[in-house]
Amino acid sequence: MKSQLLRVTAIEPLSPLVSRFRFEHPEGAALPLFSGGAHIVVEMPDGEILRRNAYSLISDPLDGSCYEIAVRREDTGRGGSRFMHTKVAVGDLLRLSVPLNLFSLDLRAKKHVLIAGGIGITPFIAQLRQIARLQVPFELHYAARSRDEAAGLKLLPDVPQIHVHISDEGNRMDLGAILGAQPLGTHVYTCGPEGLIDAVAETGRRLGWPKAVLHSEVFMSPPPGAPFEVTLEKTGRTISVAPHQSLLEALEASDVEIEWSCRGGACGRCETGVSACDGHIEHHDHWLSDDEKASQTKIMPCVSRFQGAKLALDL
Amino acid sequence: MTIRFNDETFRGDYTYHNSPEAIRRFPFPFDQDSYMYSVNIEPHAGGRAGSPFEKRFDVDEHYVSEMKDRAITLAEDPMRCQSLPHMDLAGWDFLELVMTSKAEDYPELFELHRDGDRWHWINKPMGIEQRFTFLDTTTLPCGPLEYITRQTQGDHALLDQREGNLWMDAGMITSQADWSLDFDIGMNFFEWHAPVPKAHEMGVFQRALKFLLNLQQGAPVRRLNWTMTVNPRLDTSPENYHKWGPEKRTITPETVGSKQYLRVELQTLWRLPRSNAIAFPIRCYLLSLEDLVSVPKWGRRLHRVLRDLPDELAEYKGFAVNRPTIVAYLAQFDDGEPTSPGIFPD
């Protein structure tokens, strides 16, 4: 993974739980530009553990002077966001991967409809800048539980195409109404909890939308679970995976080389063959097909786990 | 480094020729004595000094004449360059990539001066000077893709990434090994590769696509592909098959050394920043068999590769009809000695 060491030049709270971090090149060099929806992976040297979390870029894609991300503190999470909130200070140097986009706009669209739930607003902040340059019609719907939690409010421009739905204020998002009145050639993008993505897909199906125009990105971090062991077929080594560690992280901690990109079960890069499975693979990814998952012959070590007697990998 | 640009033709009297230096730097594609498909992708991060892998966009002695040949092809058939409306941004991304790379890699040949969006481009070999506004197509004589690829050797496809696939939605294709942009435009990765035998069953395209969807900015990759062409013709397109197809029948034991060419494509793949598209330059190198056998290792190895190649590959690559003549000719230069590993001359 190509990466660069960047300096933290600003940290600003956007809400009680969400802060914005700005990164710049230490010598002021221009950073690679990107497209709306791209993410970077931040490396966090947290004591013994090297954490790597993916975050959507929220800065202007055509501004190479800085990268910005918004990080929501997850106190019950695995520790990456806590590290960002409690251990990172202005002036620190952190290693960031170059931007990669697995959630880009479809540039053929006659109109873009963006639907965000909670912290899922982040990829749309950069996409809005790109859409403004393209001068294509759009609307954005942003759902949050309360105004206090709606960190995105500080990041969104004040334009009539942006609709904020605060459920505490009784203003819930009506997907049927949103999807029911769009012109042909519209593309829909959803980012947020899986329930929201499923609801958009279901509403789209009911209203006869083609699947290919409904895009989504789940905000996915490796789920914790019971500890388990894996055997590496080629070397015979056995590696233990802790409850709050992903299989990918456990492999990396044991110096096993493995390719990766998104670390969220979407890109497919870390797909690994399973040579023996006596038990049940908990597939959490969005990459393998249902048949592949059922066959238990492949695993995505970035997010998936295992329960049972024996799991052996083609490594 | 100074390059002496050849005055030569790729049609009609076919005066195309390689200097001794061009022969030595030819990207011979076989690293062993046999050939089968593989996802033979490696980082495009420089290479041996003087080789076509050294610079990001190789410029060689054929540059000026090759661009003249492209202009002739485009004048006869403007559909060789197409860009679907949503690919304009990718065209600008690619123009930027080529201009900045060439100005850095060949400062004596190309200059790029940038003042914000106001750019000033100087192409000395072609005698071009252009001031324009970046991202404003009205300030160029044609679209950004056509503009820069009229000045860049090789064919160039721009691939849009969506729905977990790549789509051939723009390109400048005038020196192709028998495929058509006008036919393939809008197709996805599996559709445009459908005619390739064997590789689908081997899962080559699934693996290659997965790799490419994750291709990173600043980390371009390359691979070599090859075929055989009669006469040094760049435009071996389906549209003009009636012009070059019959030339296959001119190969005899007397003419095969001078008229039969090994055609090698140096393919590179680049993630573009603003559009998230992938640029796919396909650079063509041609070397006659009589020039090729001047490197003894290559003569031995090409003989063994072509002699042992599966029939369907010779058929697909379009030289099955001349294979016996080619193999008989090359056999004279194969003394049975072992060959050294790798593609470079000993």
| Tens-place pLDDT, residues A106-121 | 999 999 999 999 999 9
Residue B62: how many other CB atoms lie within 10 Å: 25
Contact between A269 and B210 using a beta-carbon 8 Å cutoff: yes
Residue B257 or A172, more confident: B257
Nearest CB to A106: which of B162, B216, B218?
Answer: B162
pLDDT bucket at B71, cuts 50 / 70 / 90: very high
The structure tokens listed for A53 are 């979390």
| pLDDT over 80 (residue B115) | yes
How far is A143 from B82, CA to CA, in rounded Å?
41
Sheet of B81-83, strands arranged across: B42-43, B221-230, B260-271, B278-288, B155-162, B165-172, B81-83
The structure tokens listed for A70 are 């918004």
Contact between B276 and A108 using a beta-carbon 8 Å cutoff: no
By annotation, the residues of B acting in catalysis are 223
| pLDDT over 90 (residue A104) | yes
Does a structural domain hold residue B301? no
For chain A, the straight-line distance linking the first and the last C-alpha, in angstroms and rounded, comes to 19
Does a structural domain hold residue B11? no
How far is B244 from B233, CA to CA, in rounded Å?
8
Q: Which CATH class is domain A3-97?
A: mainly beta
How far is A165 from A171, CA to CA, in rounded Å?
5
In this complex, how many residue pairs, one in chain A and one in chain B, have their CB atoms less than 8 Å apart? 57
- What's the confidence (pLDDT) of residue A86? 95
pLDDT bucket at A218, cuts 50 / 70 / 90: confident
Residue range(s) defining the domain that contains residue B65: 20-241+265-288
Q: Does A209 touch chain B (CB under 8 A)?
A: no
pLDDT bucket at A287, cuts 50 / 70 / 90: confident
What tens digit of pLDDT does each residue of B165-196 get? 999 999 999 999 899 999 999 999 999 998 88
How far is B20 from B309, CA to CA, in rounded Å?
29
What tens digit of pLDDT does each residue of A117-170 get? 999 999 999 999 999 999 999 999 999 999 998 999 999 999 999 999 999 998
Residues in chain B closer than 8 A to A261 (CB atoms):
214, 216
| pLDDT over 60 (residue B106) | yes
Contact between B214 and A32 using a beta-carbon 8 Å cutoff: no
CATH fold for the domain made of A111-218: Rossmann fold (3.40.50)
Q: Does B274 touch chain A (CB under 8 A)?
A: yes
Q: State the Cα torsion A197-A201-A207-A210 to the nearest 10°.
A: 130
What tens digit of pLDDT does each residue of A5-57 get? 999 999 999 999 999 999 999 999 999 999 999 999 999 998 888 889 999 99
How far is A199 from A203, CA to CA, in rounded Å?
6
Contact between B86 and A269 using a beta-carbon 8 Å cutoff: no
Nearest CB to B276: which of A101, A261, A271?
Answer: A101
B221 with B191: CB under 8 angstroms? no
Which of A203-212, A221-230, B143-152 has the least mean pLDDT?
A221-230
How far is A191 from A164, CA to CA, in rounded Å?
15
Kindly give, in sequence order, each residue whose CB lies less than 8 Å from that of residue B153, ignoring residues fewer than 6 positions away: B57, B58, B59, B60, B62, B63, B66, B67, B283
B295 with B24: CB under 8 angstroms? yes
Contact between A267 and B160 using a beta-carbon 8 Å cutoff: no
Residues in chain B closer than 8 A to A212 (CB atoms):
163
A168 with A145: CB under 8 angstroms? yes
- DSSP 3-state of B101: helix
pLDDT bucket at A268, cuts 50 / 70 / 90: confident
| pLDDT over 70 (residue A209) | yes
Contact between A269 and B273 using a beta-carbon 8 Å cutoff: no
DSSP bridge partners of A189: A114, A215
- What's the confidence (pLDDT) of residue A265? 86
Nearest CB to B216: which of A100, A104, A108?
Answer: A100
Residues in chain B closer than 8 A to A1 (CB atoms):
216
Highest mean pLDDT among B239-243, B327-331, B341-345: B327-331
CA distance A234 to chain B (A): 22
Average pLDDT over residues B239-261: 95
Q: Does B217 touch chain A (CB under 8 A)?
A: yes
Q: Does B207 touch chain A (CB under 8 A)?
A: no
Give the up-direction half-sphere exposure of residue A140: CA atoms within 13 A in the CB hemisphere.
27
What CATH number does the domain located at A228-313 have? 3.10.20.30
- What's the confidence (pLDDT) of residue B1? 55
pLDDT bucket at B39, cuts 50 / 70 / 90: low
Chain centroid to Cα A254, Å, comes to 25
Contact between B274 and A271 using a beta-carbon 8 Å cutoff: no
Residues in chain B closer than 8 A to A33 (CB atoms):
273-274
Residue B201 or B136, more confident: B136
Nearest chain B residue (CA) to A110: B86
Residues in chain B closer than 8 A to A107 (CB atoms):
86-87, 89, 160, 275
| Residue from B176, B168, B205 nearest B90 by CA | B168
Contact between B216 and A101 using a beta-carbon 8 Å cutoff: no
Contact between B273 and A98 using a beta-carbon 8 Å cutoff: no
Q: Does B218 touch chain A (CB under 8 A)?
A: yes
| pLDDT over 90 (residue A260) | no
| pLDDT over 90 (residue A278) | yes
Question: What phi and psi values does residue B268 have, to the nearest 5 degrees?
Answer: -125, 155
- What's the confidence (pLDDT) of residue B337? 94
**CA triple B48-B53-B56, angle to 5 deg:** 125
H-helix segments, chain B: 20-24, 63-76, 88-105, 144-149, 181-184, 189-192, 204-213, 241-244, 256-259, 289-292, 296-308, 311-316, 323-331
Q: How many domains does chain B contain in total?
A: 1
- What's the confidence (pLDDT) of residue B196? 82
Fill in the amino acid letter for A149.
E
Nearest CB to B163: which of A1, A2, A212?
Answer: A212
What tens digit of pLDDT does each residue of A53-73 get? 999 999 999 999 999 999 999
Q: Does B195 touch chain A (CB under 8 A)?
A: no
pLDDT bucket at B122, cuts 50 / 70 / 90: very high
Nearest CB to B86: which of A102, A107, A261?
Answer: A107
- DSSP 3-state of B69: helix
